Amino acid sequence: MREKLIIPLLIAVVVGLPLALRHHDAPPAHADDTLVIIGPQTNAVRDEFTRAFRDSWRQQTGREVALDWRTVGGASDITRYLNSTYTGVFRNYWENELHRPWSAAVEQGFANPRLTPDAVPPAGADAKQRAEFAEAVAARQAFLASNLSVGIDVFFGGGSYDFSQQAARGQLVANGVEQRHPDWFTPAIFPLEFAGEALRDAQGCWEGTALSTFGLIFNRDRLQAVNFSGEPTRWADLTDPRFAGAVALADPTQSASNAKAFEMIVQQQMQQSVAAAGNATTPSLAALAAGWQAGMQLIQLASANSAYYTDYAAKPNLDVAAGDCAIGMSIDFYGRMEEETIIQRNPTDPARAHRFGYLMPRGGSSLSADPIGLLRGAPHPDVARAFIDFVLSVDGQKLWNFRPGTPGGPATHALRRSPIRRDLYDPVWRPYLSDPDVLPYEETGDFVYHASWTSPVFSELRFVIKAAFIDPHPELAAAWSSIQRARAEGRTAAATAALAKLQDLTAIDYAAVNGPIKTALAGGPLGRLDLEAQLNDHFRQQYAAARVLADGP
């Protein structure tokens, strides 16, 4: 009995301690109401939305509200936290209120969106398997019928992928804003999707609040130092050998937003492959596979140039700004906020003020929504719904890109984010905007996101980047260095043979990620660890062999 109590307690401590230790904004001296928010938002975002919503709530109700912001890292860390915490509260409910035994089938089933009431067990299932399947379906229905709470009201910030997963699990629920304000949700103000990207959930479980694109960050002083002509304009510039050891990248397994940036590289290469094949209407599997291969090869060489893969998504911006790295990848708002910070810190030194740049490669990124959603069992549902309404209102949307001090703008911080409401790009607002020339609905060029090409293997994409490029990075970087040395010495044949060996990505090609890799990852943690070890070993050996080919006998 003691062991049964100790293990859940240890899990709760490991999961909950980081949350308890993270910064919480100080509430007002007296608060009539409380709102608990979890999300990866920056201090600047928390400060501005706290101030503005407190003012709005006071005007509406005459009451004071305290906003309790929780963070446990990036959006992927938050989803892991929510998943484990909902699992814990559901287990307590299942065992102690429904008085039913816990099992692996129940644990895997309660958040499984495929287990609808009419779901049938797999063909050929024996009596035990049918009983486990029925128990899993019962668990799923019990969870959806519950109002189980993890003590948090709102999930705010991250990528649409994580929010879609939370909605599918049933941990985000319909918040009703689209019914309360139907006039907002029209193509002219807030479309359901744009250029293939979902901007809100069709069932109303989440709505985008701001728009993000992904692009290149660069230090103009470092570009000049390596004789790079002009400024980088395309993803392929990350692979330029002059940037060896000077590319700043963030780990896609730690953040869905960072993973989305890598997905953009792959999507662009797939689109170019499909266009070259002349079958854009019904793209062939061969064209998609060729585009996947080209995208992964580009990511591989960018990885070979990388100084690191950080867990902290803002770090590449800091290091490129400081000149520690020359170039990197970033989500747009981190790039623009860093640009803003440097300009403010160097008001009398134009050269230093403009040493840092951000650019979205034309046709190299789609628009991505940064959502908000209501969590199941929200302890303060009325305040939570009012906060969601405020964030999506004109007043809330002004905070994202109005200059500090402008009418309705932020008080202190220029957030440099693109609001999701299209009416905020009306010329009447342009005099107040921090970035009046940034028009995201117009700037994505001819890029159309095709979800069916990469979304089903989004998790697999993150996994293979880590297994094939991040974990064996020392061997990858060493082989890339040897290839460049062979080129410099005129040993072209050796360099060509070594590069072909380096870029043999058969083990992680489009067929593999849609087949054996997907199957292995679906098999649980043990299958994932085993496959990761296999791929690590495979690519370490491959990169070592490429280095031998480049160096010669």
Q: Is 292 found in the same domain as 172?
A: no
Residues 42 and 155 in one domain: yes
For 416: left if phi > 0, alpha if psi spans -120 to 50, otherwise beta; the answer is left
**Region for 522 from its dihedrals, namely left if φ exceeds 0, alpha if ψ lies in -120 to 50, beta otherwise:** alpha
Q: Give the model's pLDDT for residue 29.
A: 64
Report whether 412 contacts 48 (CB < 8 A). Answer: yes
DSSP state of 63: -
**396 lies in some domain:** yes
pLDDT for residue 15: 45
Angle at 172 between CA 170 and CA 178, to 5 degrees: 120
Q: Which of 384, 404, 438 is the last residue of a domain?
A: 438
User: What are the residues facing 247 on neighbouring strands?
Assistant: 306, 327
Instruction: Write down the pLDDT at residue 13.
Output: 43
Fill in the DSSP letter of residue 200. Answer: B
Residue 464 lies in a domain: yes
- Same structural domain, 460 and 521: yes
By CB neighbour count within 10 A (0-12 exposed, 13-18 middle, 19+ buried), where does 159 fall?
A: buried
Q: What is the pLDDT of residue 438?
A: 87
Residue 482 sits in the same domain as residue 395: no
- 185 and 137 co-located in one domain: no
Instruction: With respect to residue 18, please indicate whether it lies within any of the assigned structural domains.
Output: no
Of the candidates 352, 344, 339, 321, the one whose C-alpha atom is nearest the C-alpha of residue 404 is 344
Q: Could you tell me the pTM of the whole model?
A: 0.82
- Do 136 and 277 lie in one domain? The reply is no
Domain count, the chain: 3
Per-residue model confidence (pLDDT) at position 248: 96
Domain assignment of residue 330, yes or no: no
Domain check: are 476 and 502 in the same one?
A: yes
Check residue 352 and give its pLDDT. 83
Q: Compute, in degrees rounded to 10, the torsion defined by CA atoms 202, 206, 207, 211.
A: -110
In a domain, 111, yes or no: yes
Q: Are residues 160 and 142 in the same domain?
A: no
The pLDDT tens digits along the chain (553 residues) read: 444 444 444 444 444 444 443 444 455 668 999 999 999 998 999 999 999 999 999 999 999 999 999 988 878 889 999 999 999 999 999 999 999 999 999 999 999 999 999 999 989 889 999 999 999 999 999 999 999 999 999 999 988 889 999 999 999 999 999 999 999 999 999 999 998 899 999 999 999 999 988 999 999 999 999 999 999 999 999 999 999 999 999 999 887 778 889 999 999 999 999 999 987 778 999 999 999 999 999 999 999 999 999 988 889 999 999 999 999 999 888 888 888 789 888 888 887 878 999 998 888 888 889 999 999 999 999 999 999 999 999 999 999 999 999 999 999 999 999 999 999 999 999 999 998 988 888 876 578 899 999 999 999 999 999 999 999 999 999 999 999 999 999 999 999 999 999 999 999 999 999 999 999 998 888 889 999 999 999 999 999 999 999 998 7
Q: How many CB atoms lie within 10 A of CB 8?
A: 12
Last residue of a domain, one of 385, 409, 438: 438
CATH number at residue 169: 3.40.190.10
491-496 long-range contacts (CB < 8 A, ≥24 apart) are 491/550, 491/552, 494/549, 494/550, 494/551, 494/552, 495/550
Q: In terms of domains, do 495 and 541 share one? A: yes
Q: CB of 144 within 8 A of CB of 86?
A: no
The pLDDT, as a whole number, for residue 3 is 43
Q: For residues 121 and 130, what is the distance between their CA atoms, to the nearest angstrom? A: 6
What is the spatial distance between Cα 125 and Cα 99, in angstroms, rounded to a whole number?
Answer: 26
What pLDDT shows up at residue 444?
66
State whether 455 and 538 are in the same domain: yes
What integer pLDDT is reported at residue 158 of this predicted model? Answer: 87
Q: Which stretch of DSSP H or E encloses residue 221? A: helix 220-225
Backbone angles phi and psi of 335, in degrees to 5: -65, -45
pLDDT at residue number 23: 44
491 in a domain, yes or no? yes
On whether both 376 and 463 belong to a single domain, the answer is no
Domain end point (choices 148, 182, 199): 148
Give yes or no for a contact between 539 and 479, defined as CB atoms under 8 angstroms apart. no
CB atoms within 10 A of CB 121: 15
Asked whether residue 139 falls in the same domain as residue 162, the answer is: no
What domain range is 88 assigned to? Answer: 77-148
Does 347 map to a domain?
A: no
Q: What is the pLDDT of residue 337?
A: 82
Alpha carbon distance 70, 17 (integer Å): 12
Residues 127/111, Cβ–Cβ less than 8 Å: no
The whole-angstrom separation of Cα 12 and Cα 86 is: 12
The reply to whether 317 falls in a domain is no
